[in-house]
Amino acid sequence: MNNTLSTSLNKSASSQTIRLPDFSGSHLAKRYASERRFRILGIASVGVAGIILLILLSSIVSKGYSAFWLHKVELNITFSAEVLNPDGSTLEEVKLKQANYLALIHNALKEKFPAAVGNRRKIRMLYGMIAPKADLVLRDMVLSNPSLIGTTKKVLLKLSDDWDSLSKGFINRDLPESDRRIKDLEINWHDQLQSEGHIHSVFNADFFTTGDSRNPEEAGIYSSLIGSILTLTVTLLISFPLGVMSAIYLEEFAPNNRFIDFIEININNLAAVPSVVFGVLGLAVFLNFFGLPRSAPLVGGLVLALMTLPTIIIAARSALKAVSPSIREAALSLGASPLQVVTHHVLPMAMPGILSGTIIGMAQALGETAPLLMIGMVAFIVDIPRTFTDPATVMSVQVYIWSDSPERAFVERTSAGIMVLLGFLVLMNAAAILLRKRFEFRW
């Protein structure tokens, strides 16, 4: 045997030179170096992904954190009777509602900066300090307490968005005056007010309690939050039962034939159809064919339900598959009908998995934007939606709308909106993970 091996070796040696193992180690060192390089490349790509995530989050936070605060100026407002009640007759509520509260603010400003009086350009600048609709604060004060009339009181009033940016230090003072939205005179006034301690930084509660507005200082996320909740309610009510039922059928009862194969391929494909196509579907079917109202959470919820259905079906099927067959066999042997096996035993055991899959599907739906643009949810909605057919918008679309606005203060609002949106996503995903960890049955 030894002989035959050596002859065959000799034979091949005659046709080609034998490559001897490299014992010098130089080749080996090269191979090890390439091994190290490969490894570093691997860890570097994971690192790059992590760094990008960090950059993304920190850029959002650094742009958006300031939107949770805003600045107010303290003014000595004189609720003078001449302004509020010019004809001197008895005060009625209707009259107080229509009185000129803006004049009170303007008087206070003129009193504070008498130098500006007489110059129309300066006066306009001065009036621009206060946010529009700040007079409504005064109106509410007077309406709730009419005895204020005739007195003077210190009142905190919201600064306009440009002044707020100045207070937050976002205005570059080194730029030439013509390139700035805030002029030198305004900066002087601002610095004077600040050094006198009249400018206060307060929590921006309005951001969480109001709807959209053309003025960034008035714009809030609340109406779109309610819109999101309404929309997701519709989505959940439709996609959860439908998804679970079709998963049960496909996993537990479906015969093994071509038609069922077709359904399965279809579901997998549907999961990868671009979301914008679902928007077109919603437009053509729900709006044009069924005549449902535009911009309504009902339609948005329907479209998102069709989108999340495949996700829920796939998650529910894998949860059902994970339940051990022994459970089914035991139940069947005790005389349960196939449906009883599923509803009494398999489904309860699979429920944590199904629910966590559903929550992840809902989280996707919460962040979805493109299909909703097509069914009119991109409208400018100030009112808080109350029902499923009111015009509404959702948080992700609100972010998109704000990102389109040029004002500096809207960039801030956009990032803050994103932070709220991401907060909800984190909560939902944490709930899904918790559910899976706490309740999932391990075999």
Partner 1 sequence: MHTSIVVIGLIGFATIGYTIGRARAIMTVGGIVKDLHSIPSYYGYYTAIWIGVPSLVMLVIWLIVQPHVIDEVVMSDLPVSITQNLSTSEYSLLLNNIHNTANGSIFSRRNDPNIIAAAKQVNSLRQISFMLMASTVFCVGVSGLIFARNRISPVMRARNIVEKIINFILIISSLIAILTTLGIVVSLMFESVIFFTKIPLHEFLFGLNWSPQIAIHAEQVGASGAFGAVPLFAGTLLITFIAMLVAVPIGLMSAIYMAEYAKPRFRAFAKPMLEVLAGIPTVVYGFFAATTVAPAFRIAVQESVGLNTSSESALAAGVVMGIMIIPFVSSLSDDVIKAVPHSLRDGSYGLGATKSETIRLVVMPAALPGIVGALLLAVSRAIGETMIVVMAAGLTSNLTFNPFEAVTTVTVQIVTLLAGDQEFDSAKTLSAFALGMILFLITFALNLLALRVVRKYREHYE
Site membership for partner 1, residue 201 (CB under 8 A): no
Q: Which is nearer to partner 1, 235 or 396 (CB)?
A: 396
Q: Which is nearer to partner 1, 290 or 443 (CB)?
A: 290
Site membership for partner 1, residue 237 (CB under 8 A): no
Q: How far is the CB of 177 from partner 1 (least distance, A)?
A: 24
Site membership for partner 1, residue 9 (CB under 8 A): no
Site membership for partner 1, residue 202 (CB under 8 A): no
Q: Which is nearer to partner 1, 49 or 81 (CB)?
A: 49
Considering only residues 276, 330, 427, 434, which one is a binding residue for partner 1 as defined by CB under 8 A?
A: 276
Q: How far is the CB of 284 from partner 1 (least distance, A)?
A: 3
Are 404 and 431 in contact by the 8 Å Cβ rule? The answer is: no
Site membership for partner 1, residue 288 (CB under 8 A): yes
Considering only residues 1, 18, 43, 94, which one is a binding residue for partner 1 as defined by CB under 8 A?
A: 43
Between residue 360 and residue 399, which ones bind partner 1 under the rule CB under 8 A?
A: 363-364, 366-370, 373-374, 376, 378, 387-389, 396-397, 399
* Token reading at 269: 């494909």
Site membership for partner 1, residue 322 (CB under 8 A): no
Site membership for partner 1, residue 246 (CB under 8 A): yes
Site membership for partner 1, residue 65 (CB under 8 A): no
Q: How far is the CB of 256 from partner 1 (least distance, A)?
A: 14
Q: How far is the CB of 84 from partner 1 (least distance, A)?
A: 29
| Residues paired with 73 in a beta bridge | 157, 199
- The DSSP string of 370-421 is HHHHHTTTTS---SPP-STTS----HHHHHHHHHT---HHHHHHHHHHHHHH
Between residue 406 and residue 425, which ones bind partner 1 under the rule CB under 8 A?
A: 411, 414-415, 418, 421-422, 425
Q: How far is the CB of 366 from partner 1 (least distance, A)?
A: 8
Residues in CB range of 190: below 8 A, 6 or more apart: 163, 166, 167, 182, 199
Amino acid at 99: A
Q: What angle do CA 209, 214, 219 make, to 5 degrees?
A: 20
Q: What angle do CA 287, 307, 402 make, to 5 degrees?
A: 70
Would you tell me the crossing angle of helices 222-248 and 297-322 to the nearest 10 degrees?
40
Are 85 and 149 in contact by the 8 Å Cβ rule? The answer is: yes
Are 292 and 286 in contact by the 8 Å Cβ rule? The answer is: yes
Site membership for partner 1, residue 46 (CB under 8 A): yes
Helix (H, G, I), strand (E, B) or coil at 292: coil
Would you tell me the crossing angle of helices 120-127 and 184-195 to the nearest 10 degrees?
50
Closest C-alpha to 342, from 371, 317, 369: 317
Q: Which is nearer to partner 1, 159 or 219 (CB)?
A: 219
Q: How far is the CB of 323 from partner 1 (least distance, A)?
A: 17
Considering only residues 90, 114, 290, 326, which one is a binding residue for partner 1 as defined by CB under 8 A?
A: 290
Closest C-alpha to 282, from 196, 375, 370: 375
Considering only residues 280, 322, 327, 431, which one is a binding residue for partner 1 as defined by CB under 8 A?
A: 280
In three-state form (DSSP H/G/I as H, E/B as E, the rest C), the secondary structure along 299-347 is HHHHHHHHHHHHHHHHHHHHHHHHCCHHHHHHHHHCCCCHHHHHHHHHH
Between residue 22 and residue 41, which ones bind partner 1 under the rule CB under 8 A?
A: 31-32, 34-35, 37-39, 41
Considering only residues 275, 318, 345, 441, which one is a binding residue for partner 1 as defined by CB under 8 A?
A: 275
Site membership for partner 1, residue 431 (CB under 8 A): no
Considering only residues 285, 322, 332, 384, which one is a binding residue for partner 1 as defined by CB under 8 A?
A: 285
In whole angstroms, give the CA distance from residue 27 to residue 23. 8
Site membership for partner 1, residue 437 (CB under 8 A): no
* Residue whose entry in the numeric block shows the structure tokens 């009419």: 146
Binding range to partner 1, per CB under 8 A, among 59-67, 77-85, 115-123, 190-198:
59-67
